[in-house]
Structure 1
Amino acid sequence: MHASNIGFANSMVGETISAIKDSNNNIYDLARFTTSNNSDLARDFAANSADLASMAIDSTSEAFKTAYKDSSDQTILAHKQALQFVDNMSRSDGQQLALNTNKTMMYVVIGIVMVSMFAMKRS
C-alpha cells in the first residue's frame, strides 16, 4: 500500500508540475501575443496620426494659399479701379465730366465715412 501511495503522490506531483509548466507556457504565449498586439496598435496609431497631421497641414496650407491669392487678386483689382478712376478724373473731356467726377468723388467719400462710422460703432 505504501508503494501505491508513493506512486500516486509521485504521479500527482508530476501532473501538477506538468500543469504548472503548461500554464506558464500559456501565460508566456498570452503575454507575447498581447505585447505584439500592443506594439502593432501603437505603430498603427502613430502612422495614422502622422497621416492625419499631414492631411491637416496640407489642407490648411491650401486654404491659406487660396485666401492669399483671392486677397491679392482683390487688391490688384482695387488698384486697377483706383487708377482707372484717377485716369477718368484727370481727363479733360469737358465741364460735364468734371462735374460727374466731382459727384462721384463726393459719393465715394460719403460712403467711406459711413462705413468707417458703422465699423467704429460695431467695435
Structure 2
Amino acid sequence: MEYQVQSYRGRYVVDMRNRTCACGSWQLSGIPCQHAIACMKMNNDPPERYMDDCYRVDTCKKAYSFAVLPLNDSSQWIHDDCIDLESPIFQEKKRGPRQKKRRKEAWEVEKAKKVKKGRAYTAMSKG
C-alpha cells in the first residue's frame, strides 16, 4: 500500500494505510492530496473513502444534533452568594504627551556624526 508518485516537482512517497504523503498536505488537511488521488485512481478506489471523518455528512449532523435552549433575561438568573468574583485591576493611563519618536534598539546605536556637503548626519551601524 505504499506508492512512489512522480510529479513535475519531484517524487513523493504515498502510504495509503497510514494516510500520509511526503508532501504533507494530506496529513495537514485530512483531504487526500493530488499524489494520493493518483494512487487511488490507479486502484479504482474512491477518494471519499480516504477523507478524514470530520468532513463526513454524518459527523456534521452529529455536531449540530443538540438543541440550543433559550435563556431567561439576566435579571431572572439565580444568584449564588457563595462565589464572589472580583473585577480585574486596570492600570491608569500614563500622563503626559505620547512618545513621538520610537526608541532605538541596541544594534541601532549611533556612530559618529559625519559631515557631507555641509550637512551633518548620523550614520547607523549595521549590527
TM superposition score normalised by structure 2: 0.23
TM superposition score normalised by structure 1: 0.24
**With CA pairs under 8 Å and 6+ residues apart, which has the higher RCO, 1 or 2?**
2
Richer in helix (by share): 1
